[in-house]
């Protein structure tokens, strides 16, 4: 039987579906019976979601003019 | 995905075609989409921002010069990140900086062991984050800022994996290739990094509620 502590160590593998079928079933069984681990898994999933949704539009700034110059050299070669 | 405008965004294929032809609009779009993330990623290798900027500038030069060799076996984003990783690694080595990618950040537990009893069950269980949901994140800005601050403090190898996988949405094999680590180490680092961020958000949520966890609830 998987303990809560062990589940805590494998939670990302479960969320990312990087787990074999057998381990997946034992995590799922544990989650069905343990509300604390359900809460933990939910917290981790929300953490990942928060990072994924990171819509902070950091201003990329302007590309260095030297890069644009390099690019036009490229277009000269291509045409 | 950062800085990417949903409207009129060219597909990767179009961007690559454009870049191969030296099309400025295509280049500017890729630049706007990736530059900030590349700068953040470069800091895993070189700590000083001037050195990081130099590494990213060199990366763009290499991307413009080498796009002809890009075959589309990986995504454009993942290819650009590998170019940067190679450049930044070389720079770090030249500056005599020892990279700790192989020996740091693997051993800390995902959850503080004190929160479990001897038989491995929760002694101090996590609370419910009902006020956070994917559609409507209350206090989302503050939470995100907090998460980003914790990300900054992670060991470089954990931070690098979390950036590539969760912020940039790259696949596990791509992240392994870029960082030169094994699949199992990638998984360990990702989980350790996420876990530290989760723990920090948990602390913030508890302080906001103004209460400690009650293990009996
Ligand atoms: Zn449990």
The per-residue pLDDT for range B108-167, each reduced to its tens digit, is: 889 999 999 999 999 999 988 876 665 555 556 677 888 889 999 999 999 999 999 999
| B3: confidence class by pLDDT, cuts 50, 70, 90 | very low
Q: Looking at the domain assignment, is residue A74 inside a domain?
A: no
Residue A26's pLDDT is: 96
Helices A4-15 and A21-33, axial angle in degrees (round to 10): 120
Could you tell me the distance, in angstroms and rounded to a whole number, from the CA of residue A7 to the centre of ligand 1? 7
> Which phi and psi (to 5°) does residue A64 adopt?
-55, 135
Question: Does residue B33 sit in the same domain as residue B69?
Answer: yes
How many structural domains comprise chain B? 2
Length of chain A in terms of residues written:
79
A-contacting residues in B 103-132 (Cβ below 8 Å): 109-111, 113, 116, 119-122, 125-129, 132
Residue B1's pLDDT is: 45
Q: Looking at the domain assignment, is residue A76 inside a domain?
A: no
Residue B178's pLDDT is: 95
Given B54, B75, B94, the domain boundary residue is B94
Q: Looking at the domain assignment, is residue B3 inside a domain?
A: no
Q: Looking at the domain assignment, is residue A44 inside a domain?
A: yes
Q: Nearest CA to CA, how far is A56 from chain B (Å)?
A: 7
pLDDT in tens, B89-105: 998 888 777 665 656 66
pLDDT in tens, B72-92: 888 999 999 999 999 999 988
Question: Does residue B113 sit in the same domain as residue B64?
Answer: no
Q: B2 is written with which tokens?
A: 């950062």
Q: Looking at the domain assignment, is residue A62 inside a domain?
A: no
Asked if pLDDT for residue B206 goes beyond 80, the answer is no
| B215: confidence class by pLDDT, cuts 50, 70, 90 | very low
Length of chain B in terms of residues written:
217
Q: Looking at the domain assignment, is residue B104 inside a domain?
A: yes
> Quick check: B187 and A6 CB within 8 A?
no
Question: Does residue B88 sit in the same domain as residue B115?
Answer: no
B79 with B174: CB under 8 angstroms? no
Give the Cβ contact number of residue B216 at 10 Å. Answer: 5
CA B9, CA B26: separation in Å to the nearest integer? Answer: 10
Residue B146's pLDDT is: 83
| A56: confidence class by pLDDT, cuts 50, 70, 90 | low
Domain that holds residue B25: 12-94
**A1 or A8: which leads in pLDDT:** A8
Helices B140-153 and A35-52, axial angle in degrees (round to 10): 90
Could you tell me the distance, in angstroms and rounded to a whole number, from the CA of residue B124 to the centre of ligand 1? 11
B27 with B35: CB under 8 angstroms? no
CA B2, CA B33: separation in Å to the nearest integer? Answer: 6
Question: Does residue B159 sit in the same domain as residue B206?
Answer: yes
Q: Looking at the domain assignment, is residue B4 inside a domain?
A: no
Q: Looking at the domain assignment, is residue B216 inside a domain?
A: yes
The alpha-helical segments, DSSP class H, found in chain B are: 12-20, 24-42, 49-66, 76-94, 140-153, 156-162, 172-179, 183-209
Residue B2's pLDDT is: 47
Question: Does residue B191 sit in the same domain as residue B86?
Answer: no
Give the Cβ contact number of residue B50 at 10 Å. Answer: 8
Domain that holds residue A48: 1-53
Asked if pLDDT for residue B70 goes beyond 50, the answer is yes
CA B189, CA B180: separation in Å to the nearest integer? Answer: 13
Helix, strand or coil for residue A54? coil
Asked if pLDDT for residue A57 goes beyond 60, the answer is no
Could you tell me the distance, in angstroms and rounded to a whole number, from the CA of residue B116 to the centre of ligand 1? 10
How many structural domains comprise chain A? 1
User: Which among B60, B111, B190 has CB closest to A67?
Assistant: B60
Which residue does chain B place closest to A68, by CA atoms? Answer: B24
Question: Does residue B109 sit in the same domain as residue B209?
Answer: yes
Question: Does residue B74 sit in the same domain as residue B127?
Answer: no
Q: Looking at the domain assignment, is residue A34 inside a domain?
A: yes
**B62 or B139: which leads in pLDDT:** B62
Q: Looking at the domain assignment, is residue A39 inside a domain?
A: yes
**B4 or A48: which leads in pLDDT:** A48
pLDDT in tens, A23-43: 999 999 999 999 999 999 999
Asked if pLDDT for residue B37 goes beyond 80, the answer is yes
Residue B5's pLDDT is: 44
Question: Does residue B47 sit in the same domain as residue B149?
Answer: no
Write out chain A residues lying below 8 Å of B132, CB-based.
Answer: 46, 50
CA B77, CA B174: separation in Å to the nearest integer? Answer: 10
B10 with B45: CB under 8 angstroms? no
pLDDT in tens, A58-77: 677 889 999 999 998 877 76
Question: Does residue B33 sit in the same domain as residue B59?
Answer: yes
| B16: confidence class by pLDDT, cuts 50, 70, 90 | very high
Write out chain A residues lying below 8 Å of B148, CB-based.
Answer: 54, 56
Question: Does residue B150 sit in the same domain as residue B69?
Answer: no
Question: Does residue B104 sit in the same domain as residue B22?
Answer: no
Given B64, B94, B124, the domain boundary residue is B94
Q: Residue B139 maps to which CATH number?
A: 1.10.10.10
Question: Does residue B124 sit in the same domain as residue B36?
Answer: no
Residue B59's pLDDT is: 98
């Amino acid at each position: 039987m998987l303990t809560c502590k062990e589940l805590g160590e494998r939670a990302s593998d479960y969320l990312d579906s990087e787990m074999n079928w057998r381990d997946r079933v034992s995590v799922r069984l544990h989650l069905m019976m343990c509300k604390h681990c359900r809460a933990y898994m939910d917290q981790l999933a929300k953490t990942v979601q928060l990072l994924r949704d990171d819509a902070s539009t950091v201003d990329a700034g302007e590309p260095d003019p030297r890069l644009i110059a390099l690019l036009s050299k490229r277009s000269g070669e291509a045409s | 995905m950062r800085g990417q405008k949903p409207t009129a965004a060219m597909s990767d294929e179009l961007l690559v075609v454009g870049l191969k032809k030296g099309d400025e609009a295509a280049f500017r779009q890729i630049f706007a989409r990736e530059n900030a993330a590349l700068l953040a990623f470069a800091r895993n290798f070189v700590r000083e921002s001037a050195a990081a900027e130099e590494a990213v500038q060199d990366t763009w030069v290499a991307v413009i010069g080498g796009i002809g060799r890009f075959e589309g076996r990986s995504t454009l984003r993942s290819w650009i990140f590998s170019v940067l990783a190679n450049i930044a690694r070389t720079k770090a080595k030249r500056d005599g900086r020892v990279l700790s990618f192989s020996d740091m950040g693997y051993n800390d537990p995902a959850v503080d062991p004190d929160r479990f009893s001897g038989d491995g069950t929760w002694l101090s269980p996590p609370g419910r984050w009902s006020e956070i949901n994917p559609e409507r994140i209350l206090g989302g800005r503050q939470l995100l800022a907090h998460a980003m601050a914790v990300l900054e403090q992670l060991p470089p190898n954990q931070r690098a994996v979390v950036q590539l996988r969760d912020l940039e949405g790259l696949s596990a094999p791509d992240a392994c290739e870029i960082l030169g680590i094994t699949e199992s180490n990638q998984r360990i680092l990702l989980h350790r990094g996420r876990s530290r961020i989760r723990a920090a958000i948990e602390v913030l949520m508890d302080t906001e509620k103004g209460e400690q966890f009650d293990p009996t609830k």
